[in-house]
Amino acid sequence: FDPSPQAVRLYLLYNHGLLHVLVYVFIMVDLALALFEEPAVVSLPLWATSAMELVCLLAITLRVIHYSKVIPRRIFFRDPKNLCIIVIITLFLIDMIIYGALYASGHSSVRWSRVLRPLLLVNVTEGQQLRRAFRSIRNALPQILVVFCLFIFSLLIFSLMALKLLGKRNLKTIDGTSYFTNYLESVFELYVLLTTANSPDVMMPAYNYSSYFAIFFILYIVINTYTFMSVFLAVVYNNYKKHLKEEVRQLVKTKRQKLRRAFCLLKENIGTNPVVSQSRWTELVKQVQPNISTAHRELLWSILDHNNKGHIGKQAFLQIADLLNIQVITLKSRPHPFQLWMPALYNSTVSRIIHRIVKHRVFVFVYDAVILVNAVFIGLDEEDPLVSNAEWAFLTLYLLEILLKLYTFEPRAFFARHQFWNWFDTIIILSALLATIINAALKSSGGYTSRQILDIVFILRVLRLIRVVDTIPSFRAIIDTLTRIGPPMLTFGQLILVVYYIFAMVGMELFKGKIQVFAANSTDPAREYCGNPLLKDSAFARNNYCKNNFNDVVSSFILLLELTVVNQCLNLVNKVTFLDFILLLTGGFTAVTHNAARIFFVLFHIVVVIIIINIFVAFILEAFFIEYMVEKTDLHTSLEKKIE
Amino acid sequence: FDPSPQAVRLYLLYNHGLLHVLVYVFIMVDLALALFEEPAVVSLPLWATSAMELVCLLAITLRVIHYSKVIPRRIFFRDPKNLCIIVIITLFLIDMIIYGALYASGHSSVRWSRVLRPLLLVNVTEGQQLRRAFRSIRNALPQILVVFCLFIFSLLIFSLMALKLLGKRNLKTIDGTSYFTNYLESVFELYVLLTTANSPDVMMPAYNYSSYFAIFFILYIVINTYTFMSVFLAVVYNNYKKHLKEEVRQLVKTKRQKLRRAFCLLKENIGTNPVVSQSRWTELVKQVQPNISTAHRELLWSILDHNNKGHIGKQAFLQIADLLNIQVITLKSRPHPFQLWMPALYNSTVSRIIHRIVKHRVFVFVYDAVILVNAVFIGLDEEDPLVSNAEWAFLTLYLLEILLKLYTFEPRAFFARHQFWNWFDTIIILSALLATIINAALKSSGGYTSRQILDIVFILRVLRLIRVVDTIPSFRAIIDTLTRIGPPMLTFGQLILVVYYIFAMVGMELFKGKIQVFAANSTDPAREYCGNPLLKDSAFARNNYCKNNFNDVVSSFILLLELTVVNQCLNLVNKVTFLDFILLLTGGFTAVTHNAARIFFVLFHIVVVIIIINIFVAFILEAFFIEYMVEKTDLHTSLEKKIE
């Protein structure tokens, strides 16, 4: 590391918050280009999207070059993430040139580089958390793979048994198609049965044939769905936690090393002990966290320097990073602005009584009661004039509550950053007020009601009711625990975005335009079969699933989300109609691609069900397990002691 | 405790293993009576079942009386389990008299005491484990309830939103029924959506209406199905573990207290230290575990008495119970019987070569290859004469393998208790051989093939393939971990039995005979609607679900099992047809019972999904978490050290 002033300035610039945000903005814009490229939600000409992409790439390239200036060249080229980004950008350019040339000459080709886009998110310098998550998954893979192989083995054994026991029975689903007649079909049917999605279809005919076959299916589901899925959860949970712990330990080690080096630079010798004096320390903290208050800084120093020696040793110095990370909320008991402006009125008897009332517990109960009554009114028919007028009364009551609270408590304290519920209340009530007024204005002006506005009003009304949760302590505890997993969930969200984006891009290239959506009032006969003759008389078209398609990036994301969260949705693609669906999707393709399409869906299901969902569950489990045995760190405690 | 010889004899008799088994046999017979009572699988006259029940009750009463003689009267009457059993038996007798009297006078009534039968299983003295499990659940209930309330709150909020947003949209399922039009219906529809069972039905029309509604459903499923269900898992797992730990700690404390008292009785004073001499200790062990070998006993003593002082102190004495619980497998390297009978032949060169071959790794690989080839052959069509002849070849190969192993290894070591896979192999191969021979005999005698026999042959053939798991160490580790949860699973199985039995009894009383099953070749027009005119044209009857009924105890159990493991099966009862189903089930009932029936199913689902399944998952998670950080106890280690 080069400690020259110029290098330091470059480094500080590199770490500037705005640049971090900008990088993410450019990446997001690049990802969002999928909305405008063919197959598009909003179609833009090719030159526009290409130009946008070039700008984004340029920005990222600049960022990488900046990074290469900041750190030594040797380290830069040894780091896989930098090499990755360079390779990705090169591939982007190559693909863009090829695609552009083919497009200009009238040929169409595949924009394969779009699949690589989310990798930018992973490999950019700011994506440490995400890289760590991916590394954790990669490290957990060997163990997951072992369980997965065993699971596949069990699946194969059960399929063989199903083939032998049920294949000759000539069983037919309600739709009249026979099943379990071919080994690969059996494997596939049983894989879908994992999600218990097609259970009545494949189970009831066998059960009707003989009660003993129910035992076969129940055994299958207990072993494969419940036992193996639990084992997957155990393995993922354990590995993810273990590797994350390992990474954190590494991180802590590196941090300590760096702090130790900083200490060596800053130390002065008093006697034989190397120490850091208070003045240097203060200077350092001022540099590192300029927005920290003097009182806060002195508090921190007094914690490190127990005995008021005016200097601290190495051990105490190493705590600085942890100490600076502890959020100390400075609750300044500022006087209420009204008290400054009109003290006589604000301190009058009536005003004091209002304060007493607002701070009283009964005030909270009264408003909880109001919310409950409001819930009943929401449930009633809003066409009734009594109900729609009552809405104004409720709005007034809620507004009154907020105003009273603002009158009693200091506004800046009321809207402090950690006062989640106050913010929630105010925003919901104000937007509800706004929407209701707009709605009323529209109605009175022309008797016309906008459905969108009305929907928003309804949603806001219902959301208001959530406030009740805040008054019940045990509910609040659960919600708090859940909100605590918010920050790690952000990383997790990026991880999901990466996985979904890749699958969406591949899916769009494979299946775009195979299914068409028709307006509800369309009279086109093709509407009966989603615009694809292959789907004629299929359950897929009959059940109106046409909207589940890969025609644009939004539909793709929704379809993938459905496949993730709704077991039934694998059925939606599978059921008796899965084969139709696949056949249809791969309509013009060869038999090889037919299998490839099936692999696409199963692969997605495996990745998502086995890894993504289990990580999600692991997060929640971990948050609650920690909640149940939470202990504050020593530093926290000593900080609290000092404050008292 | 009365230490007179008579009391001790009574106590020993009470704790005799045979009596424990007998008690369970009587309880099981009592539970199995449901098979023969109306509505019966096999109908028996009332006097026969009543007589059987009386015998069972008598046996249990005798057992309780015996118990009351063994322990002090004061403790006996303070123990709730004894009072419970006395009350239950009294209620049984009362119910039997009432029912008998009404039956004799031609009236029919409800045998309500049958619901209480599984409580015998819980309250009998031997059921400590089961009682402990129930206590754990009871202790976890408050926390579960809090989460449950929050979950219900979320359900209600979402339902209100669904009602407001979608209710007016006039959405219709494929069957043409509209939904979300009434608040309670919305709550119910969304509850079923939890299991994602009715998702395409309620989701697709809304999604077709507008893509935004997909967000509503996905949000609902993510929050309620995934988040809340994970929170339930966390709470159940944590509480169950915590309370079980607490119980175990209590148990250990009681054990130590008792051992301390035993030490006080047995101690002699050497100098100032109270000690127990080796002779007394040996005497004690002989009394407590008569079947322990002298060598084993001396080994145990040498562990306790490190320094060969000939006596042990209090600390060492307290370890006796743990020490006796460690299973030491005495592997006597006995000579092979052949070596004794014909040493010349057994030690000849050819024989030695055979031994070498069998013990070689390649031998295992060859047989794994044979199994794989066999798997392929099983998958082929068994009508082909080549395949059916190959089966004989495979059977011969497997038999040869077992014989070779028996020739090489000492038979008693080969069939030792812990050699699970050897037992598995031998039993599977021998039964396969037997079944194949019977099948061939039947075929050649009259060309007639029994389907049952053929099914068994197929199952045995497929099971043979499982053996492959044993050769892959990482697979074996997982299987071992899973088998380790076997013993606690037994308690869990009893718990499930209790819950299911109660629900089955209630379900049978409510719904028996409402749905009829007709033979596949029946020409009765009632077959079209499961024998109930209310079901005419319902999806329930159309999809051939008639066999899902409460007509007898076996069907009830299968239906409840399906409801447990197959999400889709709540759909099977619910879907669009749930209301039909309920209406049908409660055909002649009043509107009150109509709601009661719905409550019955939802209650079952809540109990099973929230508690039972989560406990199951918790077991598996716990087993794997422990597996990942297993450490042998100190005693184990010191025992192993001594042996070396």
Chain A residues whose CB is inside 8 A of the B569 CB are: 196, 199-200
- Residue pair B533/B587 in contact (Cβ under 8 Å)? The answer is no
Put residue B530 in one of left, alpha, beta given phi > 0 → left and psi -120 to 50 → alpha: left
Q: Closest approach of chain B CAs to the CA of A309, in angstroms?
A: 45
Chain B residues whose CB is inside 8 A of the A234 CB are: 620-621, 623-625
CA distance B263 to A642: 52
Q: Which pLDDT does position B640 carry in this prediction?
A: 61
Mutate to test the interface with A, among B171, B620, B622 (most CBs of A within 10 A): B620
CA distance A141 to A615: 13
Residues 6+ apart with CB under 8 A from B400: none
Span A358-370, mean pLDDT? 85
Q: Which pLDDT does position B586 carry in this prediction?
A: 43
**Segment (H or E) for A326:** none
A334 touches chain B (CB under 8 A): no
Q: Are B234 and A160 within 8 A, CB to CB? A: no
Per-residue model confidence as pLDDT tens digits over B259-311: 888 878 777 777 777 777 777 778 777 777 777 777 777 777 777 777 777 77
Q: Is the bond into B142 cis (omega within 30 degrees of 0)?
A: no
Count of C-beta atoms within a 10 Å radius of residue B65: 10
- CB-nearest to A150 from B153, B197, B478 is B478
User: pLDDT band for position A201 (50/70/90)?
Assistant: low
- CB-nearest to A226 from B149, B197, B565 is B565
Q: Which residues of chain B have pLDDT under 70?
A: 1-3, 173-178, 195-201, 244, 321, 323-334, 382, 447-450, 513-516, 519-522, 526-546, 565-598, 628-644
B204 touches chain A (CB under 8 A): yes
Span A73-92, mean pLDDT? 85
Q: Closest approach of chain A CAs to the CA of B620, in angstroms?
A: 6
User: Which is nearest to B604 in space by CA: B560, B642, B543, B540?
Assistant: B560
- CB-nearest to B625 from A238, A461, A478 is A238
User: Which is nearest to A11 in space by CA: A65, A91, A67?
Assistant: A67
Q: Which pLDDT does position A631 carry in this prediction?
A: 46
Distance set, CA A400 to CA A347, A396, A426, A433, A459 (Å): 20, 6, 11, 12, 21
Q: Are B161 and A547 within 8 A, CB to CB? A: no
Span A42-64, mean pLDDT? 86
Q: Which pLDDT does position A596 carry in this prediction?
A: 57
Q: Which pLDDT does position B372 carry in this prediction?
A: 85
Q: Which pLDDT does position A326 carry in this prediction?
A: 63
- Considering only residues 107 to 166 of chain B, which have any Cβ-Cβ distance to chain A shorter than 8 Å? 146-147, 149-150, 153, 157, 160-161, 163-165
- CB-nearest to A204 from B382, B544, B565 is B544
Per-residue model confidence as pLDDT tens digits over A128-157: 778 888 888 888 888 888 888 888 888 888
Cα B380 to chain centroid distance, Å, stands at: 35
Question: A612: which DSSP letter?
Answer: I
Residues 6+ apart with CB under 8 A from A456: A431, A435
Residue A287, pLDDT above cutoff 60: yes
Q: Is the bond into A205 cis (omega within 30 degrees of 0)?
A: no
**Across A266-270, A561-565, A605-609, B1-5, least confident range:** B1-5
Alpha-helix runs per DSSP H in A527-633: 539-542, 553-565, 567-573, 578-585, 591-606, 613-628
Chain A's closest residue to B561, CA to CA, is A218
CA distance B579 to B499: 25
Q: What percent of chain A has pLDDT over 90?
A: 0
Q: Which pLDDT does position B593 carry in this prediction?
A: 43
Chain B residues whose CB is inside 8 A of the A614 CB are: none
Q: Closest approach of chain A CAs to the CA of B423, in angstroms?
A: 20
A235 touches chain B (CB under 8 A): yes
A375 touches chain B (CB under 8 A): yes
Bridge partner list, A269:
A274
Q: Which two tokens stand for residue B260?
A: 């301390």
Q: Which two tokens stand for residue B451?
A: 């389907």
Q: Are A543 and B160 within 8 A, CB to CB? A: no
Chain B's closest residue to A540, CA to CA, is B200
Mutate to test the interface with A, among B232, B428, B462 (most CBs of A within 10 A): B462
Compute the 3-state secondary structure of chain B and give helix, strand, coil in percent, each to the nearest 5. 75, 0, 20
Residues 6+ apart with CB under 8 A from A204: B543, B544, B545, B547
Chain A residues whose CB is inside 8 A of the B474 CB are: 146
Residue A538, pLDDT above cutoff 60: no
Q: Closest approach of chain A CAs to the CA of B180, in angstroms?
A: 12
β-strands B273-277, B268-270 pairing: antiparallel
Chain A's closest residue to B452, CA to CA, is A165
Q: Which two tokens stand for residue A68?
A: 């290469």
Looking at mean pLDDT, say which of A273-287, A476-490, B91-105, B157-171 comes out highest.
B91-105
User: pLDDT band for position A593 (50/70/90)?
Assistant: very low
Q: Which pLDDT does position B47 carry in this prediction?
A: 83
Residue A575, pLDDT above cutoff 50: no
Q: Closest approach of chain B CAs to the CA of A641, in angstroms?
A: 31
Q: Closest approach of chain B CAs to the CA of A553, in angstroms?
A: 13
Q: Are B475 and A149 within 8 A, CB to CB? A: yes
Average pLDDT, chain A: 76
Query: Count H helices, E strands: chain B?
Result: 33, 3
- Considering only residues 257 to 286 of chain B, which have any Cβ-Cβ distance to chain A shorter than 8 Å? none
- Considering only residues 506 to 565 of chain B, which have any Cβ-Cβ distance to chain A shorter than 8 Å? 520, 542-547, 554-555, 558, 561-562, 565
Span A174-185, mean pLDDT? 70
Q: Which pLDDT does position A584 carry in this prediction?
A: 45
A579 touches chain B (CB under 8 A): no
Q: Which comes out higher in pLDDT, residue B531 or A165?
A: A165
Residue A479, pLDDT above cutoff 60: yes
Count of C-beta atoms within a 10 Å radius of residue A74: 8
CA distance B381 to B379: 7
- CB-nearest to B625 from A157, A234, A561 is A234
Q: Are A565 and B200 within 8 A, CB to CB? A: no
Q: CA torsion sign, B636 to B641 to B643 to B644? A: positive
Q: Which two tokens stand for residue B129?
A: 């484990």
Q: Which pLDDT does position A577 carry in this prediction?
A: 40
Query: At which residue do the structure tokens 């202990």 appear?
Result: A631
Chain A residues whose CB is inside 8 A of the B238 CB are: 624-625, 628
Q: Are B567 and A226 within 8 A, CB to CB? A: no
Please report, as a single letter, which amino acid is at residue B55: V
Q: Are B628 and A238 within 8 A, CB to CB? A: yes
CA distance B621 to B614: 10
- Considering only residues 6 to 25 of chain A, which have any Cβ-Cβ distance to chain B shorter than 8 Å? none
Residues 6+ apart with CB under 8 A from B273: B313
Chain B's closest residue to A378, CA to CA, is B160
3-state secondary structure of A178: strand
Bridge partner list, A270:
A273
CA distance B208 to B186: 19
Q: Are B620 and A197 within 8 A, CB to CB? A: no
Q: Which comes out higher in pLDDT, residue A477 or A591?
A: A477
B231 touches chain A (CB under 8 A): yes
Q: Which pLDDT does position B573 carry in this prediction?
A: 45
